[in-house]
């Protein structure tokens, strides 16, 4: 009886936020957009203060994962259809999806294992450059370039993981900062990567030799090519989140959480710290590589600007804003940080200042993020053998 209460509030929360987000992007009036933001923040705060309602919604999300997931998928699939006239908005949402992949990967290191990695932007760039070089210079297809980009980024992640085995906290952050700068400077100054000019003319992917990413006219309806790329990316996001979720509920993530809580005692319990840390860097970088490859085939151009130190910093912001070690939160944080500033393009210059202020306010007032991580629940029937 009590269980039924949760579904409707949770559904309403999702639908209302979705409609507001669509309105926010759709209207061409900064005042209305601002009002929507104020309403969203106020509504969120209201729900947060009203404990019974909040518990109800949380219970709904917990008990009706399946049906709410289907709702979310349907809503994301419908999303581009609202903006067929304005393909720029679809462009932004596609970018947001690409960044979701990267920040879900970063969440493994920053959120699950508490290793503050500032070099996710560098791995993003490594993936993008690998994909761009393979398609432009070698003429290979996307379907060879994409897995190679993922793997190359993963290998570099593994290599960067090696010096972190002996280091923790600040020293570990310094390793990632140093790596980010070394990768940036080397790519900027090597000739075969195009130097400061970057690589242009990266082709769009083809599927079975067909180029499907073209603007299509159906009767009076014009469907921009970005719509198809949006669905293409959505597919990859789905696969990425599926694996991230599987990992989150596995032994591996339990190891990451163990070193987050206490590295020395996990060692005393016989955990292999090297394996745990290296796997976090390897897997997280795979995600960054995938995001980089999807990015470069979408935008068609890559330069070192897309992998600067600030990109990695921005990704850390996304994870913190959304909620460390919570995949749903990280997705929310990423979409908010990509989509909202786009609307206020008039204040483009203030974007980084805005990110900095958001980061500080979140750390002081809500360090657990918009959606805090859940305590793991194990029951005898599903996960009883975790104690073996």
Partner 1 sequence: MRLSQEDIVLITLMLQLKNTLMLGLQYSLISIGFTLFFGMLNVVVFCHGGFYILATFIGTALVSLVLGLSGVSPVLSGMLVFLMLFLAMSLTGLTGVLVERTTIKPFRSSPPVMPILSTMAVGIILEQLLKLFYPEGANPQVFPQFFSNRGLSFGEFTISNSELVILLVAVVSLTLMFLFIKKTKIGSQVVAISQDFEAASMMGINVDRAVSITFFIGAALAAVAGFMNGIYYTVFRYDMGTIAGIKGFSGAVVGGLGSVFGAVIGGFLMAFVETFAAGYIPGGSAIRDVFSFLVVLLFLIFRPSGIIGQKSIEKV
Kindly indicate which of the ranges 72-80, 121-129, 179-187, 198-206 contains the residues binding partner 1, using the contact rule CB under 8 A: 179-187
d(CA 3, CA 59): 8
Site string for partner 1, 59-98 (x = CB under 8 A): ----------------------------------------
Kindly indicate which of the ranges 79-87, 178-186, 221-229, 280-288 contains the residues binding partner 1, using the contact rule CB under 8 A: 178-186
d(CA 61, CA 371): 12
Count of residues interacting with partner 1 (CB under 8 A): 42
| Interface with partner 1 (CB under 8 A), residue from 34, 42, 44, 367 | 367
In the complex, least distance from residue 169 CB atom to partner 1, rounded to whole angstroms: 5
| Interface with partner 1 (CB under 8 A), residue from 244, 283, 320, 340 | 320
| Interface with partner 1 (CB under 8 A), residue from 10, 68, 102, 110 | 110
| Interface with partner 1 (CB under 8 A), residue from 48, 88, 143, 350 | 350
Does position 134 bind partner 1 by CB under 8 A?
no
DSSP per position, 76-114:
HHHGGGGGTT-HHHHHHHHHHHHHHHHHHHHHIIIIIS-
Does position 375 bind partner 1 by CB under 8 A?
no
Kindly indicate which of the ranges 145-153, 208-216, 232-240, 362-370 contains the residues binding partner 1, using the contact rule CB under 8 A: 362-370
Residues 6+ apart with CB under 8 A from 371: 322, 323, 326, 328, 329, 332
Q: Which residue has the tokens 């997280």?
A: 284
Picking from 293, 364, 365, 353, the residue whose alpha carbon sits closest to that of residue 105 is: 293
d(CA 188, CA 181): 10
Site string for partner 1, 235-274 (x = CB under 8 A): -----------------------------xx--x------
Which two structure tokens, joined as six digits, stand for 312? 């990695």
Site string for partner 1, 180-199 (x = CB under 8 A): -xx--xx-xx----------
Beta carbons of 202 and 135 less than 8 angstroms apart: yes
Q: What is the rounded end-to-end Cα distance, in angstroms, of the chain?
A: 35
Does position 55 bind partner 1 by CB under 8 A?
no
In sign, the C-alpha dihedral spanning 181, 183, 187, 190 is positive
In the complex, least distance from residue 177 CB atom to partner 1, rounded to whole angstroms: 6
Phi, psi of 206 (to 5 degrees): -115, 150
Beta carbons of 292 and 337 less than 8 angstroms apart: no
Per the document, the length of the chain is 388
CB nearer to partner 1: pick between 17 and 310: 310
Report the alpha-carbon angle 345-225-342, nearest 5.
Answer: 10
Does position 207 bind partner 1 by CB under 8 A?
no
DSSP per position, 267-313:
HHTT--HHHHHHHHHHHHHHHHHHHHHHHHHHHSEE-GGGGSHHHHH
CB nearer to partner 1: pick between 140 and 178: 178
In the complex, least distance from residue 201 CB atom to partner 1, rounded to whole angstroms: 25
Crossing angle of helices 87-107 and 120-136, in 10° steps, is 120
Does position 166 bind partner 1 by CB under 8 A?
yes
Binding site for partner 1 (CB under 8 A): 110, 114, 116, 162-163, 166-167, 169-171, 173-175, 177-179, 181-182, 185-186, 188-189, 264-265, 268, 309-310, 313, 316, 320, 349-350, 352-353, 355-357, 359-360, 363-364, 367
């Amino acid at each position: 009886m009590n269980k039924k209460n949760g579904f409707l509030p949770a559904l309403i929360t999702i639908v209302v936020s979705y409609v507001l987000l669509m309105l926010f992007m759709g209207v061409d009036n900064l005042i209305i957009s601002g009002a929507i933001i104020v309403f969203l923040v106020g509504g969120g705060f209201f729900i947060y203060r009203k404990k019974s309602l909040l518990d109800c919604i949380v219970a709904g999300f917990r008990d009706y994962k399946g049906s709410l997931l289907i709702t979310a998928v349907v809503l994301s699939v419908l999303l581009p259809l609202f903006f067929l006239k304005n393909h720029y908005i679809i462009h932004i949402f596609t970018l947001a999806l690409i960044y979701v992949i990267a920040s879900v990967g970063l969440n493994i290191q920053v959120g699950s294992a508490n290793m503050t990695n500032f070099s996710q932007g560098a791995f993003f760039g490594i993936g993008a450059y690998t994909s761009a070089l393979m398609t432009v210079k070698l003429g290979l297809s996307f379907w060879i370039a994409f897995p190679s980009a993922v793997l190359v980024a993963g290998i570099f992640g593994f290599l960067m993981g090696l010096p972190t085995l002996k280091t923790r906290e600040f020293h570990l952050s310094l390793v990632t900062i140093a790596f980010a700068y070394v990768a940036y400077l080397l790519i900027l100054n090597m000739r075969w990567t195009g130097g400061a000019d970057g690589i242009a003319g990266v082709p769009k992917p083809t599927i079975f030799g067909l180029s499907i990413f073209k603007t299509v006219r159906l009767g009076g309806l014009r469907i921009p090519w970005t719509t198809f790329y949006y669905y293409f990316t959505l597919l990859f996001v789905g696969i990425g989140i599926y694996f991230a979720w599987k990992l989150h509920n596995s032994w591996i993530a339990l190891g990451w959480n163990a070193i987050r809580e206490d590295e020395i005692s996990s060692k005393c319990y016989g955990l292999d710290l090297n394996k745990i840390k290296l796997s976090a860097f390897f897997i997280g970088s795979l995600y960054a590589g995938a995001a980089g490859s999807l990015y470069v085939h979408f935008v068609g151009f890559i330069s070192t600007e897309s992998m600067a130190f600030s990109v990695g910093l921005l990704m850390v912001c996304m994870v913190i804003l959304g909620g460390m070690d919570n995949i749903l939160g990280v997705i929310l944080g990423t979409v908010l940080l990509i989509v909202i500033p786009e609307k206020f393009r008039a204040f483009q210059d203030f974007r980084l200042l805005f990110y900095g202020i958001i980061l500080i306010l979140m750390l002081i007032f809500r360090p657990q993020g918009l959606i805090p991580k859940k305590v793991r629940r194990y029951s005898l029937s599903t996960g009883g053998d975790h104690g073996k």
